[in-house]
Structure 1
Amino acid sequence: MAKFLIFTPSYDEKSGGVVVLHKLCHVLNELGYSSYLFPYAYTYEINRFNFFKNVFNFLKWSVFTSIKGFKTNSNFKTPVYKGSIDNLDDFIVVYPEVVFGNPLRAKNVVRWLLHQPGFHEKRFYFSSGELIFKFNSAIKDFSFPGSCTSPNELKVIHYPLEYYNLSNASKNRSGYAYCIRKGKGKAFIKDHSGDILIDNLSHEEVSKIFKKVEFFVSYDTYTAYSIFAVLCGSKSIVIGDEGVSEVSWYPNQDDRHGLAYGFEKIKWADDTKNLVLPHIQNEINKVSDSVNAFAKESIDYFGLVKI
């Protein structure tokens, strides 16, 4: 009988990738599938050149995890797996693309591409026989020898709309907020010494900032905070990556509504901002169908039976 095991870090509302991994587990359980979280452990490629560095990182990660503990979202149905990993033949294990190899030695592996493979770790290592799902149209087409890439996207979103809305938004806006996040190392397009950096702030803190500033500049091209800013009434500007066109950034135009891909696109973003919330609500409504299709495809691919 098929069950799902989601390999994920501890819950962190500021990490979109972590949030959707936990949300996937929740939605699977809501749909009647048996799904569990498995605490993420950092995975390494060990060789004679990095042995001591990675031993140190392993110890640091282990100590950090033991002290902080593994957190879940109390509003989600996300039980943590407590059983043995010696025989996971009835499980479909879902790894995000950042996981190196198959640390649980699972027979049935789904690789969920939440970003371009290799973006975070500068390397990736998958294995043959995996079933690969892209998160959305922003992920470039990808295949791995011996594996199968699904034609269907697994788009799971969780937008905290209780924070990001126009309630108590200022009518007299001024100033800039900005984020770096995954855009670290990118050259600034302006002097941000007097602007507000939102990195590592809570949703409550960020939403209050978005409701009073006129502009939000993101050096991270794929963060949901760009959309959150629009929902709070800010003009949202995304600083693109070198050599990446607007269409290559998000091939689906609906995903670009309300967002200015560079300052020269502010008018277009302003003209389409009213389409953002309906699009988000439509995407939210499609999550269950997307997850159900993913579950059925995975079960069929690995020749398992639904419980």
Structure 2
Amino acid sequence: MKFVIVSPKQTGGGPIVLYKLAKTLQEQGYDASVFNIGGVSDNRIEFYYKQLKYDAKESIKYSLVKLFPKSNFTKRHYQGYAYLPVRGCRKKYLPVVDDDTVVIYPEILRGNPLHAKHVVRWLLYHNRFPNDSTWYSDTDLFVAYREQFNDSQLNPDGNLLKIFSFDRELYKRTNYGERNGVCYFIRKGSKRTDLPKHFDGPVLDLLPETEKVRILNKCEKCYLYDTQTFYASIAALCGCISIVVPEPGKTRKDYLKKDDHSCGVAYGENREEIEYAIQTQEKVADRIDRMLSSNLENTISFINLCKKCFHLS
């Protein structure tokens, strides 16, 4: 059994865990590789043309990063090239997919551009194509990253695959003294109708990771309009009062399981939530360590699920 994981560059949480899955499968002795897809087409000639064009552009970007690795332009616009949280993954440029290959697609990708016989759909966020059966096959295996992202019609058994990647040397608290000001993450909250017209602090979305950490160690509070981003925990780990801004009419219980209290994070700015975030901030590091230690067990369970579903060995 071989694996091809289709993923964008490492510019966000979803791609990073896709790379991490590839790396963990490699460490277990499997032929696992990442494929950065350049476009989708049912026509194979058109698909390969798009891919070759994409790879040519990527080569130019890599060259710019090599020539100007420390420039602000590189750090700001070429994240996923200059900063690689997960290293050592095998990469495919035009993968050959045979009957022993399992192809893993994230939920952002429609269809089956690699024409794979064995397909896994990993719901790393809410299903982008609800009630649209044209983007998957009845034989596809669905797994969700979290219960909150699961589509119960497509994955009635509630199969989960939780993989975590975290740089403890980068994301940490360095300031134990005075803090001032606020900062923001918008990310997947960019289409919310309740976004402020003006922000009284920096929006961190597009900044290099080192700059994000520096600002999080400077500010007193961090407001997040993406209600599902792990940057909420990162902000708490860096010493910020981390505040997820609920969508209008919603509260903590609308985003978490009953037994998930998401330590170190407030949902809204009422007194009880803020006090909870401050009092549980020190528990964030232990929670992250537990999540990281579960990677191997979760990967082995996923391998066994693929063997059972696709009758592979």
Which TM-score bucket, shorter chain as reference?
Answer: 0.7 to 0.9
Counterpart code for 1:39: N
2:312 is the counterpart of 1:267? no
Aligned length: 286
Match of 2:233 among 224, 227, 235: 227
CA RMSD of the aligned region, Å? 3.0
Match of 1:81 among 84, 92, 101: 92
Name the TM-score, length of structure 2 as normaliser. Answer: 0.81
2:49 is the counterpart of 1:67? no
Task: String of CA shifts for 1:229-265, please: whole Å, max 9, x gaps.
Answer: 0001100011123454422311154352111111112
Structure 2 residues not aligned, in runs of 5+: 44-49, 63-79
Task: Find the counterpart in structure 2 of residue 90 from structure 1.
Answer: 100
1:280 deviation in Å?
1.1
Q: State the alpha-carbon separation in 2 of the partners of residues 163 and 208 from structure 1.
A: 10
Distance 1:256 1:124, change over 3 A: farther
Distance 1:189 1:78, change over 3 A: closer
Relative contact order: is structure 1 or structure 2 higher (C-alpha 8 Å, sep ≥ 6)?
1
Match of 1:103 among 98, 105, 113: 113
Counterpart code for 1:238: V
Q: State the alpha-carbon separation in 2 of the partners of residues 124 and 270 from structure 1.
A: 47
1:292 deviation in Å?
1.1
1:83 deviation in Å?
6.1
Q: State the alpha-carbon separation in 2 of the partners of residues 242 and 170 from structure 1.
A: 34
Asked if the contact 1:219–1:239 (Cα under 8 Å) also holds between the matched residues in 2, the reply is yes
Task: Find the counterpart in structure 2 of residue 35 from structure 1.
Answer: 32
Match of 1:283 among 291, 294, 307: 291
Task: Find the counterpart in structure 1 of residue 166 from structure 2.
Answer: 159
2:211 is the counterpart of 1:212? no
Distance 1:178 1:153, change over 3 A: same
1:34 deviation in Å?
1.7
Q: State the alpha-carbon separation in 1 of the partners of residues 134 and 241 from structure 2.
A: 36
Asked if the contact 1:198–1:206 (Cα under 8 Å) also holds between the matched residues in 2, the reply is yes
1:132 deviation in Å?
0.6
Q: State the alpha-carbon separation in 2 of the partners of residues 10 and 18 from structure 1.
A: 6
Task: Find the counterpart in structure 2 of residue 24 from structure 1.
Answer: 21
Aligned residues: percent identity?
30
Name the TM-score, length of structure 1 as normaliser. Answer: 0.83
Distance 1:245 1:18, change over 3 A: same
Structure 1 residues not aligned, in runs of 5+: 47-56
Counterpart code for 2:286: P
1:222 deviation in Å?
1.1
1:125 deviation in Å?
2.0
2:264 is the counterpart of 1:258? yes
